[in-house]
Structures are given as structure tokens and as C-alpha cells.
């Protein structure tokens, strides 16, 4: 294999540029000063204690958890149905429908948010955390469909055919054979959708109405310099949780591919 020192150096610089701000985040979260700057004035954990005692933060977190869990369940369920229809059946307009499902991946998120706001106002739908769920499902659907399509494509179709030959119906064969085999993909889709939803800000800021979610709460706290260290502590917790969730999702994705006997073509990690 030919060595490429220039490419290796570029890769290192790219990773440093990408992850250095995230690595610096916990450093300032434990800094004793309220000003985010070097040199550090000391080590403290009081910002985490202040975060823990903030009742408004916990209210926003509870709202975000309800939104994210609902989004993950709905997006994964719809992703299973869409992926099943794409991989198992032939029907007119299938490429076009799949293209429409994947459109949110390429559209600017602020355009999606403004469009949803206009449509909801036109339909006289009151803005609340429920409308945020609709927006987040729209943004998470491409990821859920992509993950579940990969899971169903790795599934050996002869297993369901054997179940049908033994007297099972289409529905029971799907429930007893296909679903257990793609369950790791469903878990991966659920965790990815949950992570995307709880971190999303733009759509929530447009259509949440008077309800405060975690992302908008964090943005609002940056208007007060004294609250910045506490927000950095919160950010450290969120980054840690997101990394753990993504690692678990990737583990289940790879487990699902191996279980179905497919070849892993790459994933999130």
C-alpha cells in the first residue's frame, strides 16, 4: 500500500478542526471562572450543581424527551413500513416516492421550518410541542428509511417464503420472521431519530409556540453571560449522551447486518 503523508496530515488537521471545539467544551465546563477564556482560573463542579438545580431546564428537558421519544417511535414505525414496501414490492412511482422521503436531507432546514410554519398557520393549527413532533418526524424519516431499507435488503427472503409454505400468512410471517431479524435496525433507527430530535433547534424555534424545548432553552441562556458556564456543563452532558447513543445505535446496526448474513457497507461510526 502506498503511503500518503500529505493525505494523513490533512486527515489529522480535519479531525482536529472538527472535534477540537467539542473537546474544549468540558474543559470550560469545569473552569471556575464565568468568562470563557484561557488561562483557566481553577477547577470546579458548581456549574453542574447549578444545572441540576435549574427547574426551567428540567421542564424543557421533559418536553424534549416527550418530543424525541414520540418522534423516534413514529419515524421508526413509518420507516419500517416504507422500507418494507420498497424492498419487498413493486409499484408505480416507487423511485419518486423514495426521492420525496429523502428530500429533507438536501433542503435547508430553515426553509422546511418556514414552510411548516406557513402551512400550520394556514390550517389554524395551534403551535405547541405536538407540532414540533410533526416537524421532527419529517426530518428523521430519511434516516429511518435509509437504516431500515439496509436492514430489509440484508434479510434473506427465503426465510419468509419458507414460513408461507408452512402455512403462515403474509402478516404472521412478517411479524414472526422479518421483524425479529430487523429488530437491531429498528433499535438503531430509534436511537438515531431520538438523537436528531433532541438536538434539533431550527424547527423547534419556529413551531414550538409557547412551549420551551431543550434546544431553544439553551439558545436563550446564551443571552446571559452568567449562565454560559452552566450551559457549557449542560452541553458536556449532552455530547456525552449523544456519543453513547450513537455508539449503541451503530452496535445494533452492525449486529443486525451480521445477523441477517449481509455485508456491512459502512455506517455512522
Sort residue 266 into left (φ over 0), alpha (ψ -120 to 50) or beta. left
64 contacts 215 by C-beta, under 8 angstroms = yes
pLDDT of residue 73: 94
161 CB-near residues (< 8 Å, 6+ apart): none
Q: Which helix (H) or strand (E) holds 28?
A: helix 5-29
| Regions of the chain with pLDDT less than 50 | 1, 268-269
Where helices occur in 89-178 by DSSP H, the ranges are: 94-102, 109-122, 129-153, 157-165, 170-173
pLDDT of residue 58: 87
For every residue of 192-260, DSSP letters joined together read: HHHHHHHH--HHHHHH-TT---HHHHHHHHTTSGGGHHHHHHHHHHHHHHHHHHHHHHHHHHHHHHHHT
In the chain, domain spans: 43-259
Global pTM value? 0.77
pLDDT of residue 124: 87
pLDDT of residue 268: 47
Main-chain phi, psi angles of 31, to 5 degrees = -75, 140
pLDDT of residue 95: 77
Q: Return the CATH number of the domain spanning residue range 43-259.
A: 1.10.3720.10
pLDDT of residue 66: 93
Amino acid at each position: 500500500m502506498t503511503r500518503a503523508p500529505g493525505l494523513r496530515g490533512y486527515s489529522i488537521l480535519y479531525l482536529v478542526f472538527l472535534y477540537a471545539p467539542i473537546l474544549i467544551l468540558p474543559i470550560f465546563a469545569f473552569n471556575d471562572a464565568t468568562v470563557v477564556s484561557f488561562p483557566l482560573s481553577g477547577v470546579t463542579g458548581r456549574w453542574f450543581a447549578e444545572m441540576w438545580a435549574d427547574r426551567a431546564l428540567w421542564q424543557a428537558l421533559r418536553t424534549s424527551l416527550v418530543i424525541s421519544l414520540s418522534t423516534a417511535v413514529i419515524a421508526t414505525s413509518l420507516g419500517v413500513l416504507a422500507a418494507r414496501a420498497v424492498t419487498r414490492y413493486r409499484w408505480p412511482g416507487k423511485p419518486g416516492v423514495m426521492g420525496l422521503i429523502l428530500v429533507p436531507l438536501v433542503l435547508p432546514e430553515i426553509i422546511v421550518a418556514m414552510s411548516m410554519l406557513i402551512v400550520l398557520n394556514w390550517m389554524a393549527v395551534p403551535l405547541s410541542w405536538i407540532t414540533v413532533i410533526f416537524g421532527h418526524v419529517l426530518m428523521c424519516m430519511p434516516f429511518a428509511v435509509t437504516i431500515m431499507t439496509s436492514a430489509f435488503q440484508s434479510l434473506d427472503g427465503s426465510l419468509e417464503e419458507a414460513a408461507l409454505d408452512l402455512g403462515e400468512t403474509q402478516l404472521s410471517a412478517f411479524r414472526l420472521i422479518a421483524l425479529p431479524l430487523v429488530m437491531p435496525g429498528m433499535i438503531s433507527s430509534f436511537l438515531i431519530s431520538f438523537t436528531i430530535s433532541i438536538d434539533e433547534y431550527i424547527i423547534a424555534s419556529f413551531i414550538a409556540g409557547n412551549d420551551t424545548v431543550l434546544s431553544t432553552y439553551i439558545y436563550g441562556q446564551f443571552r446571559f453571560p452568567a449562565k454560559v458556564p452552566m450551559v457549557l456543563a449542560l452541553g458536556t452532558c449532552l455530547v456525552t449522551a449523544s456519543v453513547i447513543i450513537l455508539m449503541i445505535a451503530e452496535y445494533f446496526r452492525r449486529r443486525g447486518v451480521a445477523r441477517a448474513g449481509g455485508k456491512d457497507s459502512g455506517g455512522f461510526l
